[in-house]
Amino acid sequence: MHSNHRFSKYFNASPIVFLAFLLFFLPNKLAVSQLPFAPDMLTSLLSAADVTHHPAGYKMNTFRPYLPLTGKVSFLTYPPINVDQALETLYYDAQNYLAPLILNPAPVETLAIIWTSNDSQMQKLASQNGYQITSVLSQGKALAVKIR
């Protein structure tokens, strides 16, 4: 490839300069892992056995036997999910875990999951939204049914 352009000589040398730059530059830029290697976890994952990990939203496994597989249930927390980021994450994880059951953050469905940190908050949240607790699954966590 020939050219009479006055910049040609610089351009003709550019591949060599470019090549040399990268050959010296890239070896210092290799990806470095800051995290330790966990062989047991890797084996568990690659064998598709998943013995070292729980799926996202696994906290909801105590509710699973009491819930329908499909349809909608309310998901009520204290404080509400749009206030507490950790509870918002829990809501999304719970939706992941329970899909295709749909979790509605509004207190309008017949059945509701109540998720609070203690029993008094649980009772208060249920009664405020017209629900009656039917099963207490752990401290502050219960299933409730709409009564009004």
Considering the complex, what minimum distance in angstroms separates the CB of residue 118 from other proteins? Answer: 28
User: In this complex, which beta carbon is closest to other proteins, that of residue 8 or of residue 117?
Assistant: 8
Stretch that binds other proteins, among 41-49, 117-125, 130-138, 139-147 (CB under 8 A): 41-49
The strand pair at 131-138 and 111-115 is best described as unpaired
3-state secondary structure at position 17: helix
In 3D space, the residue among 119, 116, 148 whose CA is nearest the CA of residue 131 turns out to be: 148
Residues 50-89 that bind other proteins (CB under 8 A): 50, 53, 55-56, 69-70, 72
> How long, in residues, is the chain?
148
What DSSP assignment string belongs to 93-123?
HHHHHHTTSEEESSTTSSEEEEE-SSHHHHH
Residue 76 token pair: 């009520």
Instruction: Tell whether residue 128 is a contact of other proteins (CB under 8 A).
Output: no
| Contact yes or no for 110/146 (Cβ under 8 A) | yes
23 part of the interface to other proteins, by CB under 8 A? yes
Tokens of 100: 């295709």
Binding status of residue 26 toward other proteins by CB under 8 A? yes
Among 85, 100, 138, 148, binds other proteins (CB under 8 A): 100
User: Which residues make up the interface to other proteins (CB under 8 A)?
Assistant: 1-3, 5, 7-8, 11, 14-16, 18-19, 22-23, 25-27, 29-33, 35-38, 41-43, 45-50, 53, 55-56, 69-70, 72, 92-93, 95-96, 99-100, 102-104
